[in-house]
Amino acid sequence: MPAEKIISELINEYGDSILRMCYIYLKDYHLAEDVAQETFLQVYMNYEDFKQQSSIKTWIIRIAINLCKNQMRTRWFSEKKEE
């Protein structure tokens, strides 16, 4: 099955839950949308490296959480510099 079709199915299956989780972390809907989109971009780019040691959902959630934490770190540093 082509990677594009697999990613499309993953977005349809997990997209809403990833977006909600990102919103819970970031408290900003637009940032959550960006991070959710970036999550699936990372999934697409690294799908061949997925070792299947966990479920695909767990892997996608871990990517999203790491991207949320990166975004929060970036926002924290930019807010600290403005003070």
φ, ψ of residue 57 to 5 degrees: the values are -65, -45
pLDDT tier, 7 (very low <50, low <70, confident <90, very high otherwise):
confident
Mean pLDDT of the chain: 87
pLDDT above 70: residue 28? yes
Angle 3-26/56-82 helices, nearest 10 degrees?
40
Question: Letter for the amino acid at 76?
Answer: W
Q: Is the pLDDT of residue 30 over 90?
A: yes
The predicted model gives 19-24 an average pLDDT of 97
On the CB side of 80, CA atoms within 13 Å amount to 6
pTM over 0.95: no
- pLDDT above 70 as % of the chain: 88
The three-class DSSP label of residue 7 is helix
